[in-house]
Chains A and B, each alone.
Chain A
């Protein structure tokens, strides 16, 4: 069995993740921040530890500006709904996932002005196009850090400079990069970072977060959800303090504990080492697939400019047939289709049929890659 669907969710997880989650149920099973007894405090401590780890991992000065969410989609929705008003102008790229596109298209119907900057067919973004797209009333620029379709990494720091010169904020969708590529929100100039816990960060599904940078006045952001926070319970209005303002309802303590253990594993191994291994495997995979007649590899074909994602199509076989053969005949798991990113597939030229996406992860071996290349050779011929 070879798992090459790490861009959808990483598998397997480090043993410490499973242990941390079981430990919470066993010894920290209270509701954090709701009661003052030892099990409640233990749960609150587990959450705070992960909050600090995330702050340190992404170079965030204040851990209380790390907001826990269910996933990156949830984080993106909090940011967009919180910041944008009818009449605001937003710039985004044509390589975005529907986690960004759908909320933006919905806001557009209610008066938001949206500019979608076209990317090249390899997924790359010319920053001068972003510079041309920003206007006086541009409130926000939203880009992915790397494409979930072809893996192409976008020049986030350069986009940040352009956004800031125009007086706009930058929201980055780091679903595909958090835990796989170093992310330093200060050095990169990222104002809001949306990430998921269950991909590169090696935590469980249902964990993730939004980082609200120092430059963002969170008191002006409308919360997406309102409700109990355990704090300021005498008030019938939502509190303004972070992180409570955006964390209504009992949180996913078990998932957050697992996420913390995922970060521990990454820190121990070193994110640079993880990146180097994934880049090398991706390079081998791209080379191997490019040598198979009948297969077209999409994207930059340059592992150093991409995450560990390789997207392919074949001249004489549908992507769903390829996916089925890989799973049934070879036990190789990948994801086929549109990957919730129709705009990106239109940009790449693979809409509506989609691609076969092979995504290596922290536990993929070189043998896995050569087996996958040999299997695809057989499937295609």
Chain B
């Protein structure tokens, strides 16, 4: 399965993102940030890669501060 993860600078941004994405009906899960990607914020948002554009546009529209969006395999 190909997943995407959104990484954040702060936990508060991750919480904000989670709340917004759930409200928008996006299927997401909060996970510990994969160590190979970053050591920034301890929590990341994981989603199905096919949802990437939608996830990005929801976060962008709300002005959520995002570090980066990356693809992962698992």
Contact = CB atoms under 8 A, between A and B. Distances in A.
Interface of A: 32-37, 40-41, 44-45, 47-48, 51-52, 62-64, 229-234, 239, 241-244
A233 B32 contact: no
Nearest to A68: B12
Contact of B65 (A33, A36, A241): A241
A33 B40 CA distance: 11
A48 B43 contact: no
Interface residues of B, number: 23
Contacts of B42: 33-36, 40, 230-231, 233
Given A64-B12, A233-B40, A244-B9, 9 more contacts: A36-B33, A41-B43, A44-B43, A64-B16, A231-B11, A232-B9, A234-B39, A239-B10, A241-B13
Contacts of B16: 48, 52, 63-64
Q: Interface of chain A, helix or strand or loop or mixed?
A: loop
A241 B12 CA distance: 10
Contacts of B13: 64, 241
B23 interface: no
Given A37-B32, A230-B41, A44 B9 contact: no
A233 B11 contact: no
Contacts of B39: 232-234
A217 to B, nearest CB: 16
A175 to B, nearest CB: 24
Contacts of A32: 11
Interface string B1-20: 00000001111111110110
A329 to B, nearest CB: 50
A242 B33 CA distance: 19
A48 B30 contact: no
A34 B39 CA distance: 11
B27 interface: no
Interface of B: 8-16, 18-19, 30-33, 39-44, 63, 65
A63 B13 CA distance: 9
A80 to B, nearest CB: 24
Contact of B15 (A34, A44, A62, A234): A44
Contacts of B40: 231-234
B41 A33 contact: yes
B10 A64 contact: yes
Contacts of B32: 35-37
Contacts of A48: 12, 15-16, 19
Contacts of B33: 36
Contacts of B12: 44, 47-48, 51, 63-64, 243-244
15 contacts: A33-B10, A33-B41, A36-B30, A40-B42, A48-B12, A48-B19, A52-B19, A230-B11, A230-B41, A231-B8, A231-B9, A233-B39, A239-B10, A241-B13, A243-B12
A194 B17 CA distance: 26
Contacts of A244: 9-12
A33 B43 contact: yes
Contacts of A243: 10, 12
B31 A36 contact: yes
A145 to B, nearest CB: 26
A36, A45, A51, A243: residue with the most chain B Cβ atoms closer than 10 Å:
A36
B31 to A, nearest CB: 6
Contacts of A47: 12, 15
A351 B58 CA distance: 58
Nearest to B32: A36
